[in-house]
Amino acid sequence: MLKFLKPAAHTKEIQDKALVKKEYKYWRFRIFYAMFSGYVFYYFTRKSFTFAMPAMMENLGFDKAQLGILGSMLYITYGLSKFASGVMSDQSNPRFFMAIGLIITGITNIFFGFSSSLIFFAIFWGINGWFQGWGWPPCARLLTHWYSQSERGTWWSVWSTSHNVGGFLIPIIVGVCAQYLGWRYAMFIPGVLCILMGFVLMNRLRDTPQSLGLPAIEKYRNDYPVSKKEAEKTERELSTKEILFDYVLNNKWIWILAVASFFVYIVRIAINDWSALYLIETKNYSLIKANACVALFEVGGLFGMLVAGWLSDKLFLGRRGPMNVFFSLGMLMSVMVLWLYPSVSIYVNSIALFMIGFFLFGPQMLIGLAAAELSHKKAAGTASGFAGWFAYFGAASAGYPLGKVAQVFGWSGYFWIIAACGAITVLLFLPMWRVKGAHLRTHDDDIGDETEEAVSVK
């Protein structure tokens, strides 16, 4: 790996406690807003094609199935990249890793805008998908190193809303560009913006606290994951065989969550990628009007994630199953409203898309959390990653296959598929109603200690 991509070296630790506190406050805020903004911009180049697609169909004469190939291409390469870039990112400086990935996605969007051939579209969109995978892993590294165990959940959930902010803004930006400048500018402008943002990330981000002469976050906040006594019992490293077979592949709950993730992602990508075209063809909406409605899907998702996580903690004391059942039922009912309610009112359709996003993003977030909690502490990443693999198989299925269904069987066939996926998701979550995490963590802020209680999942 190039030298400048390697993790930044540790420097001599600052001994002045007042200065350490001041520096930590400054850098934590700066790094958070930088990586939050950076991930918003990743969505600009990830979703630009989605909302330029209706204009491309009109201009170039492609059909739904052909353009669906491009959606599947991105999700396949993105899914493959998430694992590979995760390994690379753990050995890299996020300051440059995240920035370079964003710059390259910007360049591929620009090249995509200059193309007219389906083959070149597929090549550039596949490359884009690979470097989209460079966005999440460095953020995970930064969130782990700059925010400690007892506070990380709050910071993590707030950071997660960057998905929705980006998803809300990009249909508006692309809709305006495509309407007034043409679909090619709907690719050029997000591409240029992301290249510029990449250089901003290089300026704003830094690697670990130790690279700036600060103590590790656990030492600074006296917030260690477990007590010394518990650490001796729970910190033993597991072998690859133990992780895969004892805690993931032979864990029925992980399989259920992974399959549920597959169907949730079909619904998510189907609504996100195809609903603008649906509104244009069936409700006679303009491109801007349709994209504005779809933007509310992401706004609903923002609130849904925060509400689902909070209620699963406060109302069900850490059980994720009930919230997954309630929210997946809400998702199914909201899809039925969008499908069966005949109104062409922008208010009715906007509310329907808002509610689909609200109910869908709750289970999407809770699936990863539940997978981590229902495996061993040392297998949490593998378990959530396993569920993530299934999610992107679902995302790829919502590209060409669903586009072909919509082309052959019309929008009724499209809605029958996603309604069936919603119903299957409800059925998959029902057996998990009473299931609780394999390990629960509690923290005492006064002593900076944490205990771990094993909870049976049988």
Tokens of 42: 């990743």
Tokens of 342: 């005949």
42-51, 177-186, 250-259, 315-324: range with lowest mean pLDDT: 315-324
The confidence score (pLDDT) of residue 440 equals: 39
pLDDT in tens, 46-93: 888 888 888 888 888 888 778 778 877 887 888 778 767 766 776 788
- What element of type H or E holds 449? strand 449-454
Instruction: Pick the more confident residue, 452 or 133.
Output: 133
User: Whose CA is closest to 169, among 351, 297, 14?
Assistant: 297
On whether the CB atoms of residues 107 and 56 are closer than 8 A, the answer is no
The confidence score (pLDDT) of residue 90 equals: 63
Tokens of 89: 């990112």
Tokens of 47: 């979703």
- Which whole number is the average pLDDT over 318-322? 78
pLDDT in tens, 93-106: 889 999 999 999 99
pLDDT in tens, 264-283: 999 998 998 888 888 998 88
Reported pTM: 0.70
The confidence score (pLDDT) of residue 385 equals: 67
Q: Burial, 215: exposed, middle or buried (Cβ in 10 Å; 0-12, 13-18, 19+)?
A: middle
The confidence score (pLDDT) of residue 449 equals: 38
SS3 226: coil
pLDDT in tens, 151-188: 666 677 778 888 878 888 888 888 888 888 889 999 99
CA 94 to chain centre: 18
DSSP 345-381: -HHHHHHHHHHHHHHHHHHHHHHHHHHHHTS-GGGHH
| Percent of the chain with pLDDT strictly greater than 70 | 84
Which residue reads 């990628």 in tokens?
273
User: Whose CA is closest to 256, among 379, 371, 364, 381?
Assistant: 371
Domains of the chain in sequence order: 1-221 (1.20.1250.20), 224-458 (1.20.1250.20)
Query: Does the pLDDT at position 42 exceed 70?
Result: yes
CA 16 to chain centre: 39
Calculate the average pLDDT of the chain.
81
Query: Does the pLDDT at position 227 exceed 60?
Result: no
The confidence score (pLDDT) of residue 373 equals: 66
Query: Does the pLDDT at position 371 exceed 60?
Result: yes
Alpha-carbon distance values, 63 to 54, 55, 69, 404, 449 (Å): 10, 12, 10, 9, 59
SS3 12: coil
φ and ψ of 399, to 5 deg: -90, -100
The confidence score (pLDDT) of residue 83 equals: 64
Beta bridge partners of 219: none
Which residue reads 């960057």 in tokens?
162
